[in-house]
Structure 1
Amino acid sequence: MDPQQLRTFVTVVDHRSFSAAAQALGYTQSAISQHIAALEADLAAPLLFRRPVAPTEAGERLLEHARPLLLRLDAARADIARLRQERPGRLALACTPGALTPATALALVRARTATPRLVASVRMCGRAEAVQAVLTGTADLALVDGAVAPSDPLPLPDAAPLPAFPVSEEPLAVLLPATHPLAGRPALRLADLAAARWIDAPDAAVPLAQLRAAAQSDGFGHQLTYTGTDIRGLSVLVAAGAGLTTAALPAAKDLPGIAAIPITEPRIVHRTELLHPRTPTSPTAELLDALRPKQSH
């Protein structure tokens, strides 16, 4: 299979249009059609319905392989580029919403101050996007957070080639409206909240599927989905009574209209890890050293 034909196929599926895919890739629509026809001939199977544009059963199966294959190809290109120390004057950090701490921000500012021509940037995004950004070279580092048992590593998507180390572990809290009947409790059991109404915010809080697994419950239903990474925006919805969510306890204490109650059962914590390439550029290596826990030296 030709990688470019695979990329064309994925782009057509994502855009649901041959013409939109041609515009996105900078090809003619005829070239897009030729790529798809060649791929279908190679695999001896129809991959796309044409009207409307949608993957066939074979196309759906190919998608399962194509996305990780293309990600690995992009990751290989970025890994080789780092060996040549490309972009030494850039320090790009991809960060999930609960992972950016004052200590991390201070280290980034110091790195920027120490190298006046360094172009530094921070991009807030979801977990999968943060990991992929480092894999493909659009970011130099990723700070990723999540909920796990104490001392357990985060289950990260497609992160096999990326070294990682823990930056912090903090208590995980349930966020309730300040007027909620449970708001005055010193601690809460996660299973006792399984029947409550939750907000599904997979990129800004612990995914509900993970809470179900931790509490061994089929509950944690939701009537509202929050798409985005703004924790304060999510907290406004919680304060208004739209549902419950989770956050690291220290970060949630000052949110207006919110009660942040630590979870005592099961034993889960809010963990932040720093992911980095095997061959970091010089500015990246300096920030890594600043953020690495001292006891790990």
Structure 2
Amino acid sequence: MDPHLLTTFVTVARCGSFSSAAAELGYTQSAISQQIAALEADLGLPLLSRRPVEPTPAGRRLLEHAEPLLLRLRAARADVLRAAARPGLRLLLAATPLALNPVLALRLARARREQPRLEVTLRTCGREEAGAMVAEGRADLGLADGIAAPSDPLPLPDSGPMTASGVSEEHLAVALPADHPLAGRAALRLMDLVDARWLQTPSCSLPRLRDLVGDGFPVALDYRGGDVHTVVNLVAAGHGLTLLPASAVPLSAPGVRGVPLAAPRLVHRVELLHGALPPGPAADLARVLSG
């Protein structure tokens, strides 16, 4: 299959429109139609229904393969170019919302003291986007966070040739309203809270908790943003419980208590993501962030 045709197919499926895909890719609508027809002829199957424009069952199956394949191709191109590129002093660091904890913020400050001319742009994004940005060369380094057993790697999506190494682990706290019956406990066990109402957030994935602990953890509200202040406000208002790294639970936040998690043994883990790093500022920053 031609990667060029796959790109067109993925774009049409995402846009839900031949004309919108044509505008995004810089082709005429006729050219887009011809490319989709060529891909369908190659496979001998219809991939898109036309009214409305949406993937057929075969098209949905192809999408499962196409997007990772295209990401790997972009990652391969970026890896080759990165190896030949001259090191620069302007770096882009892609980080998930809770990845840059106080320890890593201090390490970043140390790196900037060691390299006074270093310019770092920090971009907050989701875990998958952080991995894709690093793999495709759109970011020099990435930081991804999540809940894991101690020393266990995070379940990161396959984004091509990329190194992921743990740079930080800290204890977790259950964030709950100050007037909650369990708010005064010295510690809490997660298995005692499986029937509580929970917030689904990027930093507290309930499917991940079910994988680690077992069934339960009903979703009370699905929050897809990255602002910790908003999460704390939602907890205080009674929308549900959540897990946060201990350093992220504001000590002075009204209406919220952070109770240490006693069992099971889970931690908030941060991993540093990067491709091949020739000697230079990016490699130096990776060394300092790794502690």
What's the TM-score once normalised by structure 2's chain length? 0.94
Aligned-partner residue type, residue 243 of structure 2: T
Counterpart-to-counterpart distance in 1, 2:287 and 2:98: 21
Aligned to 1:232: 229
Alpha-carbon shift at residue 113 of structure 1 (Å): 5.6
Spell out, residue by residue over 1:4-34, the C-alpha distance to the aligned partner (whole angstroms, 9 max, x if none).
1101100111110111111111211111111
Spell out, residue by residue over 1:184-216, the C-alpha distance to the aligned partner (whole angstroms, 9 max, x if none).
111111111111111111x2x220011112221
Aligned to 1:186: 186
Alpha-carbon shift at residue 291 of structure 1 (Å): 1.7
Aligned to 1:132: 132
Q: Secondary structure at the match of 2:175?
A: strand
Counterpart-to-counterpart distance in 1, 2:28 and 2:166: 47
The aligned length equals: 290
Spell out, residue by residue over 1:247-272, the C-alpha distance to the aligned partner (whole angstroms, 9 max, x if none).
10122143613211121111111111
Provide the alpha-carbon RMSD of the alignment. Answer: 1.7
1:85-234 matches, within 5 Å, as: 85-86=85-86, 88-112=88-112, 115=115, 118-159=118-159, 161-201=161-201, 203=202, 205-217=203-215, 219-234=216-231
Counterpart-to-counterpart distance in 2, 1:165 and 1:37: 44
Q: Secondary structure at the match of 1:88?
A: coil
Label 1:210 to 1:53 Cα distance change in 2 as closer, same or farther (>3 A). same
Label 1:122 to 1:266 Cα distance change in 2 as closer, same or farther (>3 A). same
Alpha-carbon shift at residue 235 of structure 1 (Å): 1.0
Q: Percent of pairs identical after alignment?
A: 57
Q: Indicate if the aligned counterparts of 1:165 and 1:274 stay in contact, CA closer than 8 A.
A: yes
Deviates most, 79-88 or 237-246: 79-88
Spell out, residue by residue over 1:122-150, the C-alpha distance to the aligned partner (whole angstroms, 9 max, x if none).
11111111111111111111111111111
Q: Secondary structure at the match of 1:92?
A: strand
1:3-152 matches, within 5 Å, as: 3-86=3-86, 88-112=88-112, 115=115, 118-152=118-152
Counterpart-to-counterpart distance in 1, 2:154 and 2:220: 27
Q: Secondary structure at the match of 1:260?
A: strand
Q: Indicate if the aligned counterparts of 2:71 and 2:160 stay in contact, CA closer than 8 A.
A: no
Q: Indicate if the aligned counterparts of 2:197 and 2:240 stay in contact, CA closer than 8 A.
A: yes
Counterpart-to-counterpart distance in 2, 1:210 and 1:91: 32
Q: Secondary structure at the match of 2:257?
A: strand
Label 1:119 to 1:32 Cα distance change in 2 as closer, same or farther (>3 A). farther
